[in-house]
Amino acid sequence: MFDWSKQVILLTGGTGSFGQAFTQYLLKYHSPTALRIFSRDEFKQYEMQQRFQHPCLRFFIGDVRDPERLARAMDGVTLVVHAAALKQIVACEYNPNEAIKTNIIGTMNVLNAALDAQVERVLGLITDKAVSPINLYGATKLCMEKLLIQGNSYHGKHRTAISCVRYGNVANSRGSVVPLFRKQKETGTLTITHKDMTRFWITLEEGVKFVVRTIETMQGGEVFVPKMSSFKIMDLARAIAPEAKHRFVGIRPGEKLHEDLINHHEAINVVELADHFIIKPGNVFWTKDKRLTAFDGKTVVADFSYNSKTNPHYLSILDLQKSLEKLF
């Protein structure tokens, strides 16, 4: 049984949308021994410190690009939640070097520091953009996932377990379309990339709960994918601003019309459970250890894929309105 009260947690990207929601949930339901918030922005850390004011919180100003600072922050840590990343698609396309330094090299630094510190569990947050990537952000997150999962081969006798979660766009997170549409609603016109675009839908709270449950059940090597509903971008626009006009601006560089969470090439390693999928690694470290083979799920068909367009579960305009009401 996983005991949250005994955990010393390092949360990279801790002042971001996920980091703040994860912190709020943990302090409410699972107060750990210590929760170390690791991020670059001292003002956001100050704001977060004023907001939560909890004795278990520690604030480390640092960058995942800095291995020495990570090593210091990792001392005594039992659990790492790696959420730090540059995630704006257009910014990553324009600044590829910076995206690689943070998302790929930064993840290498987190992994190495965790292995050296003999951390018990490491969980990385991945995005649907990492599946069949067509933009640099997605490619860096794919590299991040590969680095972390393969890191299970290097833990040696210390048994550090490393897993990842993949999920889609988080509703109302910083930089998402929901706050953009809400702001544009005041002007009477919403800018829409393409009328046929679809996306997966998950709220911050749902994402946090999934991460918490994954941490409690992970064994190392898995990629966990929650089952989610899809939505049409036009339906979201109508749910937020039913009277607004629409101006179509075209798909941005590196953007997909529909998103994938699992592609058919991965199907051979996919296990389906009631409310999520698990992608098992094809690595030797998985098959040699019997503790990593037991899942109460079923295998999927050979050409299985999980795509926002072909997903059978869609949110209606009314569903979206009800979900949005809970966010605001």
Give the list of residues 6+ apart from residue 217 with CB closer than 8 angstroms, or none. none
* Tokens describing residue 168: 């889609």
d(CA 249, CA 175): 17
- 235 within 8 A of 197, measured Cβ to Cβ: no
Q: Which member of 129, 141, 256, 280 is catalytic?
A: 129
Q: Which one, of 154, 287, 160, 150, lies nearest residue 218 by Cα?
A: 160
12 contacts 39 by C-beta, under 8 angstroms: yes
Instruction: Give counts: helices (H), strands (E), the chain.
Output: 12, 17
Q: From CA 254, how far away is CA 271, in angstroms rounded?
A: 30
Look up residue 167 and give its amino acid. Y
The DSSP secondary-structure symbol of 103 reads I
Beta bridge partners of 35: 9, 57
Structure-block tokens of residue 203: 């709220």
Dump strand ranges (E) for 168-209.
Answer: 170-171, 189-192, 198-203
Within 10 angstroms of residue 256's Cβ, the number of other Cβ atoms is 22
Is 309 considered catalytic here?
no
Q: Please give the Cα distance from 107 to 322 (Å, whole number).
A: 37
Q: What is the largest CA-CA distance in the chain?
A: 62
Among residues 139, 138, 140, the alpha carbon closest in space to that of 129 is found at 138
Active site residues: 129
